[in-house]
Amino acid sequence: MIAQVPEIRISQAQLLSEPDPSGEQPPAEAASQQVSAIRAYLLARGNSALADRGFHWLMVLCALSIFGIVLLILTELVRSSSQVWNQFHFSFFFKAYFDSYTGLPNYWDPVNGHFSALPFVYGTVVSSLLSLVLAVPLAIGVAIFLTEMCPKALRGPLAFLTELLAAIPSIIFGLWAVFVLVPLMREYVNPLLVRSLGWTTFFTDENPTGLGFVTAAVILAIMILPIISSLTREVMTAVPHSQREAVLALGATRWEMIRIGVLRNARIGIVGAVILGLGRALGETMAVTMVIGNSPEIHRSLLSNGYSMASVIANEFTEAVSDLHRSALMEIGLALFIVTIIVNVLAQLLVWAVTRGAPARVN
């Protein structure tokens, strides 16, 4: 009897949590039945039963509102973009118009009713991928340094600084980029890129404005770095210490330990972190709008001006010339929503696959 006493816990969380392995033993089972009997008595007692049930359902309602929001956004965007969808269907995202005089492509001309999202899709994809190329090695480097190499005293402040970077609003990145980064790119980086990488034909025209895909990618990389590195850090900390110790015991150097013991075990989560960073880069609006150049054209050169899906919405929505124009922008928004949802679901699944066993961490 005395042995059973510690088993009695009138705590909801305990009852709802998965059964203990020890729950298979008959005495403990009896105890848990006993607990639910006490609980049933408590719940059935007087008016608190009604209040309790009401409170419970109110909280469930709050939780369900999260699903409601997703559905609401989806239905609103589908409804508002139906005009363009009925007219163009999927060709909205691939079609190319050509100017009858010059023969040059003219994808986006709202005044004359030419709507094709192709240059925006191109701009979003190119700037996001380019930013990943810049951000991923740095982010993983930072994560490795912070989890495996950094002296303990430095770890907290450095982690805080990267967190701070994540908290800076997009508009401030944009402001800084316009007044500091763009002149820097125009004067030094772009000419250097043309000189050293011009032969690849991706860096041909020396953009005199300093705006363009590369500048957008640099600022995007700075913005998505903290997300990728903090998630990478999280999955790397989730790798059990025994893995590291086992590799070290075989005589590995620190880097070999990181490569074999940590990175290999955390690779799925790191891919998830990178995809999450991609999701952020795809939807980033203000900073990109301020530096990408805002011209709906497709050029081979990465230094030329471009446009992105989020930027065209931000720039043109309030000044849309027709209902069709507004509907086209809504359609771009819908595409952005669906793509980021898919990317985020994928990323979360990958990250959860690694960190599920680890305790919850407050960032």
Residues 86-115 that bind other proteins (CB under 8 A): none
Task: Decide if 282 contacts 336 (C-beta within 8 A).
Answer: yes
For helices 323-355 and 48-80, angle between their N-to-C axes, nearest 10 degrees:
130
- For 149, residues 6+ apart whose C-beta sits below 8 A from its C-beta are 254
On the 0-12 / 13-18 / 19+ scale of CB atoms within 10 A, 334 is buried
Distance CA 363, CA 361 (A): 6
From candidates 59, 96, 321, 358, binder to other proteins by CB under 8 A: 59
**238: region left, alpha or beta (phi > 0 left; psi from -120 to 50 alpha):** alpha
Q: Does 286 bind other proteins (CB under 8 A)?
A: yes
25 touching other proteins, by CB under 8 A: no
Of 3-11, 83-91, 99-107, 237-245, which segment contacts other proteins by CB under 8 A? 3-11
251's tokens: 């005589």
**225 lines the binding site for other proteins (CB under 8 A):** yes
Q: Tell whether residue 273 is a contact of other proteins (CB under 8 A).
A: no
Q: Kindly state whether residue 295 participates in binding other proteins, applying the rule CB under 8 A.
A: no
Task: Report the alpha-carbon distance of residue 361 to residue 359 in Å, rounded.
Answer: 6
Number of residues that bind other proteins (CB under 8 A): 104
User: What is the DSSP secondary-structure string of 78-130?
Assistant: HHHTHHHHHHHGGGGGT---B-TTT--B---BGGGTB---HHHHHHHHHHHHH
Q: Applying CB under 8 A, does 10 fall inside the site for other proteins?
A: yes
Among 3, 44, 62, 111, binds other proteins (CB under 8 A): 62
CB of 249 to other proteins, least distance (A): 16
| 207 in contact with other proteins (CB under 8 A) | no
Task: Provide, rounded to whole angstroms, the least separation between the CB of residue 170 and other proteins.
Answer: 7
By CB under 8 A, is residue 144 in contact with other proteins?
A: yes
Which of the stretches 153-161, 190-198, 261-269, 296-304 binds other proteins when contact is defined by CB under 8 A?
A: 153-161
Q: Annotate 214-232 with b (16+ C-beta within 10 A) or e (fewer).
A: bbbbbbbbbbbbbbbbbbb
Task: Kindly state whether residue 201 participates in binding other proteins, applying the rule CB under 8 A.
Answer: no
Q: What is the pattern of x (binds other proteins, CB under 8 A) and - over residues 160-189?
A: xxxxxx-xxxxxxxxxx-xxx---------
Give residues 316-335 in contact with other proteins (rule: CB under 8 A): 317-318, 329-330, 333
Query: Does residue 85 belong to the site contacting other proteins (CB under 8 A)?
Result: no
Separation of alpha carbons 181 and 170, rounded Å: 14
Contact between 260 and other proteins per CB under 8 A: no
